[in-house]
C-alpha cells in the first residue's frame, strides 16, 4: 500500500513552480477532440486524471503522445463515440467528453462519471444543456445514448456549474449557429478553456463573466496552447507553509485567482506579498482564528481549498468557522485531522475549528483529493512522523506532492 511519510515540525523555506491546472487541462484535452488537426497542450501536468483523459482520447481514435511537459493530440480522424464505463468512472471530468464527442461525432454513448465522493454530484444541468442544443438523450441501465445534429440555443443554468458550463461550451462550438450561456460559471479555468478554443479558431466570448456567447460551426485548426497554473495546488502549498511555519514562494500562478485564499491566510497572521506570477508567504507566529470562511462559486472562496486551509488553521489560537456551500459532504478529512489532535466540530455544512497549541503525528487515510492534501498539510505542522494512506486520491491532482514539498525543505517520502 503506497503512502506518504511526513516528518512534521520543521519550518518550510524555498520556492516552487506550480504545475498546470488539473481543472483546466481536463476540459482542454476533451476539447482537442473537436479539432481536426494537431493540438499541442503545454504545461500539461502528469496526473492520473490526465492519463485517464488520454486513454479516453486514444479509445476514441485519436493519436496521443507526450513530449516533456506537452501532450500532443491529433484528432484528425476519430473513430469512436463511446466511452467505456471503467474510463468514465475514473474521474469526474470524463463527463466533459459528452459535449465534445456529441459535437464531433454526432452521437455519444457513456455513463455517469466518477470522481471524488463529495455528496451527490448529479449531471442534470449537463444533460439539460445538451438537450437545449438539440440532443436527444436516452437513459437506460445507467447508460446514456445521445444523438443529435446540434444547433445554437439559449442555455440558462439554474446554478453556475463549472462542468456543465464547459460541456455546453464544447457542444456549442460544434453546433451550427449562435449560443448564449447565461449564469455560466466564472472560474478562471473556464477562461482558460475559452482561450484554448479561440486559439484553435473557435469564436467564444465572455468567459469569466456570467454570460458566454459562442458562434458555432466554425472550422477549427490545430495549434499550441499553454495551460494556466493550478491555483488549488498553489493554495495547498501556501497552507502547508502556514501550517509548518517558514517562508515559501509559489510561482507560475496568477495571484488574482487566489485572492480569497491569501486574504484568509493574511487574517490568520501570515505576511503575503503578491506580484502577478508569484506569491510569497511568511509565517512566523502561531496562526489566529479567522472570520467565517464560506465556500462559493468563483470569485468566492474555492471549495477545493477548504480542506487544506482548515488543516492549517487546526494549530493556533482562536476559533475558525467554515461553511461549505458547494458540496454536501466535503468534511471527510475532519475525523482524520482529529486523529492528529485537531479539535473540530461539524454540524451539517458548518465546521468549527478550535485552534490547539500542537498537533501530533498519526496514521491517517485520505478519502478524497483535497482531503488527502489537507492531511499532508496538517502532518507538516505536527510533531513526529505521520503516515498518510489513500494517496491515489491525492495523485489525481498533484503531480509530485512529496517532491515539491521537499523543494520547500519538508521531509516527505512516498513509499
Distance CA 68, CA 75 (A): 20
Considering only residues 320 through 379, tell me which ones interact with ligand PEP, judged by CB under 6 A.
Answer: 369-370
Cell of 116: 471524488
Which are the catalytic amino acids?
Answer: 116
Residue 397 touches which of ligand PEP, ligand UD1, none (Cβ within 5-8 Å per kind): ligand PEP
Judged by beta carbon distances under 5 to 8 A according to partner kind, the member of ligand PEP, ligand UD1, none in contact with residue 159 is ligand UD1
Coil vs helix vs strand at 171: helix
Q: Which does 122 bind (CB under 5 to 8 A by kind): ligand UD1, ligand PEP, none?
A: ligand UD1
Residues constituting the chain: 415
**Residue 272, SS3?**
strand
Q: Cell numbers 459532504 label which residue?
A: 329
Q: Does residue 132 bind ligand UD1 (CB under 6 A)?
A: no
Q: Would the annotation count 155 as a binding residue? A: no
Query: Would the annotation count 272 as a binding residue?
Result: no
Among 95, 116, 153, 164, binds ligand PEP (CB under 6 A): 116
Q: Is 22 annotated as a binding residue?
A: yes
**Computed over its alpha carbons, how large is the radius of gyration of the chain?**
21
The answer to the question of whether 326 is labelled as a binding residue is: yes
CB of 213 to ligand PEP, least distance (A): 26
For ligand PEP, which residue has the nearest CB? 115
Q: How far is the CB of 409 from ligand PEP (least distance, A)?
A: 26
Q: What residues between 316 and 345 interact with ligand UD1 by CB under 6 A?
A: 326-327
State the cell numbers at 102.
456529441
Closest residue to ligand UD1 in the complex (CB): 163
Burial code (b: 16+ CB inside 10 Å, e: under 16) for 232-255 equals: bbbbbbbbbbbbbbbbbbbebbbb
String of contacts with ligand PEP for each residue 5-44, x by CB under 6 A:
-----------------xx---------------------
Segment (H or E) for 281: strand 278-283
CB-based contacts of 295-300 (< 8 A; 24+ apart in sequence) = 295/322, 295/323, 295/324, 295/325, 295/326, 296/325, 296/326, 297/159, 297/160, 297/162, 297/185, 297/186, 297/187, 297/326, 298/185, 298/186, 298/187, 298/188, 299/186, 299/259, 299/260, 300/260
125 is in an annotated binding site: yes
Residue 306 contacts ligand UD1 per CB under 6 A: no
Residue 218, marked binder: no
Bridge-based pairing state of the strands 350-354 and 319-323: antiparallel
Q: Which stretch binds ligand PEP (CB under 6 A): 51-59, 87-95, 268-276, 382-390?
A: 87-95
State the minimum distance, in angstroms, from the CB of residue 368 to ligand PEP.
Answer: 7
Residue 57, C-alpha cell as written in the block: 482520447
Binding footprint of ligand PEP on the chain (CB under 6 A): 22-23, 91-93, 115-116, 304, 369-370, 397
Q: Which residues are annotated as a binding site for phosphoenolpyruvate?
A: 22-23
Contact residues for ligand UD1, defined by CB under 6 A: 23, 26, 92-93, 120-126, 159, 161-164, 185, 303-304, 326-327
Amino acid at each position: 500500500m503506497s503512502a506518504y511519510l511526513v516528518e512534521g515540525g520543521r519550518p518550510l523555506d524555498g520556492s516552487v513552480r506550480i504545475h498546470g491546472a488539473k481543472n483546466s487541462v481536463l476540459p482542454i484535452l476533451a476539447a482537442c477532440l473537436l479539432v481536426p488537426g494537431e493540438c499541442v497542450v503545454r504545461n500539461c501536468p502528469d496526473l492520473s486524471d490526465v492519463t485517464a483523459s488520454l486513454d479516453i482520447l486514444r479509445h476514441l481514435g485519436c493519436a496521443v503522445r507526450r513530449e516533456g511537459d506537452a501532450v500532443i493530440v491529433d484528432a484528425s480522424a476519430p473513430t469512436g463515440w463511446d466511452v467505456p464505463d471503467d474510463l468514465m468512472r475514473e474521474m469526474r471530468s470524463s463527463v466533459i467528453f459528452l459535449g465534445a464527442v456529441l459535437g464531433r461525432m454526432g452521437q455519444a454513448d457513456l455513463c455517469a462519471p466518477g470522481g471524488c465522493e463529495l455528496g451527490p454530484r448529479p449531471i442534470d444541468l449537463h444533460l439539460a444543456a445538451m438537450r437545449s442544443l438539440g440532443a436527444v438523450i436516452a437513459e437506460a441501465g445507467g447508460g446514456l445514448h445521445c444523438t443529435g445534429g446540434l444547433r445554437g440555443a439559449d442555455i440558462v443554468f439554474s446554478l453556475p456549474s463549472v462542468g456543465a458550463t464547459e460541456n455546453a461550451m464544447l457542444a456549442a462550438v460544434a453546433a451550427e449557429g449562435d449560443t448564449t450561456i447565461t449564469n455560466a460559471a466564472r472560474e478562471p479555468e473556464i477562461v482558460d478553456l475559452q482561450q484554448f478554443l479561440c486559439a484553435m479558431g473557435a469564436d467564444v466570448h465572455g468567459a469569466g463573466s456570467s454570460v458566454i456567447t459562442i458562434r458555432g460551426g466554425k472550422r477549427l485548426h490545430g495549434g499550441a496552447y499553454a495551460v494556466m497554473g493550478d491555483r488549488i495546488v498553489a493554495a495547498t502549498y501556501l497552507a502547508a507553509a502556514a501550517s509548518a511555519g517558514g517562508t515559501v514562494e509559489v510561482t507560475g500562478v496568477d495571484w488574482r485567482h487566489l485572492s480569497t485564499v491569501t486574504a484568509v491566510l493574511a487574517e490568520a497572521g501570515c505576511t503575503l506579498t503578491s506580484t502577478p506570477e508569484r506569491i510569497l508567504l511568511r509565517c512566523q507566529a502561531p496562526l489566529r482564528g479567522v472570520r467565517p470562511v464560506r465556500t462559493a462559486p468563483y470569485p468566492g472562496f474555492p471549495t477545493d481549498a477548504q480542506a487544506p486551509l482548515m488543516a492549517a488553521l487546526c494549530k493556533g489560537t482562536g476559533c475558525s468557522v467554515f461553511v461549505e456551500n458547494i458540496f454536501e459532504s466535503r468534511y471527510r478529512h475532519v475525523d482524520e485531522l482529529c486523529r492528529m489532535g485537531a479539535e473540530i466540530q461539524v454540524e451539517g455544512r458548518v465546521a468549527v475549528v478550535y485552534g490547539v497549541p500542537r498537533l501530533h503525528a498519526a496514521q491517517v487515510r485520505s478519502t478524497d483529493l483535497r482531503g488527502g492534501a489537507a492531511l499532508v498539510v496538517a502532518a507538516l505542522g505536527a510533531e513526529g512522523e505521520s503516515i498518510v494512506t489513500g494517496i491515489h486520491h491525492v495523485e489525481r491532482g498533484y503531480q509530485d506532492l512529496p517532491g515539491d514539498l521537499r523543494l520547500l525543505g519538508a521531509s516527505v517520502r512516498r513509499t
